[in-house]
Amino acid sequence: MACEQAIPVPHAPSPGPVARIIAWRRAWLGIDHNPATLRLAQTIRGNGLLHLAFFALLWGAGLGHILLALSIGTLILCAIFPSRRIQLIGATGMLSLVIQPYRFKEFPELSARLFAKAGFDAISPALLSSAVAALFLLLCWSMLKLQAESRGNIVGQRPFLAQVILLFGLLGAGASGLCSPVATAFLWAFIGVFATNFWTLGYAFANLRSKAPAPALTHVGFLRPVWNGNMVPVGKGIAFLRKFEAKDDEALAATRLKALKLIVWALILQRLDWHLGDLLESRWGIPDLRHALLAQGGAMKLGAGMSWLVLLSHYFLKVVEVAATGHVVVATVRMAGFAIPRNSVSPFASRTIAEFWNRYFYYFKELLVDFFFFPAFTRFFKKNTKIRIAFATFCAASIGNCIFHLMNEIVWIPEKGLRHVIQGFESYLLYSLILASGIIISQLRNHRPKPEDGFLRYQLLPRIGVTLFFCIAIVFDDTRPGIALSDRFSFILGLTGF
């Protein structure tokens, strides 16, 4: 019997480190579709681990202690009682609003100074601000109930207009200086709370018009869901959130795994932003844009090459910062069980200016579209399509954009005056006009890049065009006073070498 000689089987070559990293990345990005991880995330142990990992990453994202505690508490409650998540988020949202009435970081100090001036030395200004926030919640509940029950009044017919009139009326009263110190302190505390919740209140009114509106009290709870740290209402209102609510255990597990993926990406971007910003300034001597513009007004003018480096790095870091911040918020919303779209999706891939806004800051763009673009588009210039689109875009990108950013500046009115705020705003006003013009031209252009145009005309040139437009426009994207418009123009001229 012939002895069979064993034939050595060649081993498959072991993958190199790059191939391994690519395989890990692919596996990581696919965890929300992987049956094994989906099953694990539906068990008590897996769900617990998922939450612990998420909380650790949320802590790493650098949220304030109160916001972090409220977020973790809300997410734990949502994990234990998933079918009650709307009510629980609403309850912690109201608590969040009363504990932290203002979103502007300067408002608590301003409010404290105004209450001290009015003679409220014995009572904590934070307590007084919380009382004003509680009153605000009560008023919102009454107004929302009024809207739900009857539309025969101005609040019912034009709620957003009513909001704008009320806010600007209060601002006028506050800026007039005619009120007593006590009335001034309470008035500005109320304005601070109202302005910080202005857009979420707008969404609450709009949501009451949906086919199956939630009760007014639920809307009040969503004026300040715990994830909303700034004024842009990520997740819009309750009607939008409900469309993305996980319908079963598997969908919930997938949504939470998406949340985990997103917060990891957010932390990577956040660290990139911090370290690259530091590296550019301290190691390579590239100043930030504001310092470069301030230098433009003095004797230390930058050369064309350095000015371009300043602009490109500022643009890049700003986009990365917005993406990182938005991802943390969206990840928290997803962890609560709502698979809402991301705030930023590959903004550098945009081929048109209009597309960039959709990809760069989705929820801010949605706010401008919902409150300014569509109301104008459905009412004015219906006979002429181009003028109709241009006017609606102007209303959103310029008027709406300015109103939104002006609200961030109202904190300076009581002590520095309206004139100071308006003077600081001239640059932003110009920015909003440049932005609106760019978006209008981008929307009305008949030619859109197509894949058949080739690499240069489809992939490269449109993206360079978008980058150049925003790099130039960003020079004016500033609401702080202190830099003359002439210095900003001079900086732009300096980019050409003059």
Partner 1 sequence: MPASQIDRLRAIVSELLAARGDTAAFSETESLFLGGRLDSMAATHLIIALETEFNLEIGGPDFDVSALDSIAEMTDLLA
Of 131, 94, 100, the closest CA to residue 115 belongs to 131
Locus of tokens 């990891």:
264
Residue 243 sits in the site that holds partner 1 (CB under 8 A): yes
Among 209, 271, 419, 480, contact with partner 1 (rule: CB under 8 A):
209
Residues 235, 333: contact at Cβ < 8 Å?
yes
Residue 419 sits in the site that holds partner 1 (CB under 8 A): no
Residue 420 sits in the site that holds partner 1 (CB under 8 A): no
Among 216, 354, 407, 474, contact with partner 1 (rule: CB under 8 A):
354
Site map (CB under 8 A) of partner 1, residues 149-168, x = contact? --------xxx---------
* Shorter beta-carbon distance to partner 1: residue 341 or 417: 341
193: Cα separation from own chain's centroid: 18
Residues 424, 477: contact at Cβ < 8 Å?
no
Percentages (nearest 5) of helix, strand, coil residues in the chain: 75, 0, 25
Residue 245 sits in the site that holds partner 1 (CB under 8 A): no
Distance CA 277, CA 285 (A): 11
Among 232, 286, 322, 392, contact with partner 1 (rule: CB under 8 A):
392
Among 48, 64, 305, 341, contact with partner 1 (rule: CB under 8 A):
341
Q: Which stretch binds partner 1 (CB under 8 A): 205-213, 301-309, 319-327, 478-486?
A: 205-213
- Between helices 304-335 and 44-60, what is the axis angle to 10°? 150
Residues 235, 241: contact at Cβ < 8 Å?
yes
Least separation in angstroms between residue 255's CB and partner 1 is 15
Among 55, 244, 308, 381, contact with partner 1 (rule: CB under 8 A):
244
* Shorter beta-carbon distance to partner 1: residue 439 or 473: 439
Least separation in angstroms between residue 496's CB and partner 1 is 32
Distance CA 282, CA 469 (A): 28
Distance CA 17, CA 21 (A): 6
Residue 358 sits in the site that holds partner 1 (CB under 8 A): yes
Cα–Cα distances in Å, from 186 out to 141, 170, 182, 227, 462?
A: 20, 11, 6, 27, 51
Assign 104 to helix, strand or coil: coil
Among 58, 86, 353, 369, contact with partner 1 (rule: CB under 8 A):
369
Residues 311, 336: contact at Cβ < 8 Å?
no
Helix (H) or strand (E) holding 310: helix 304-335
Binding residues among 435-474 for partner 1 as defined by CB under 8 A: 443, 448, 450-451
* Shorter beta-carbon distance to partner 1: residue 114 or 369: 369
Residue 315 sits in the site that holds partner 1 (CB under 8 A): no
Site residues (vs partner 1, CB under 8 A): 157-159, 206, 209-210, 239-240, 243-244, 341, 354-355, 358, 365-366, 369-370, 373-375, 377-379, 382, 385, 389, 392, 443, 448, 450-451
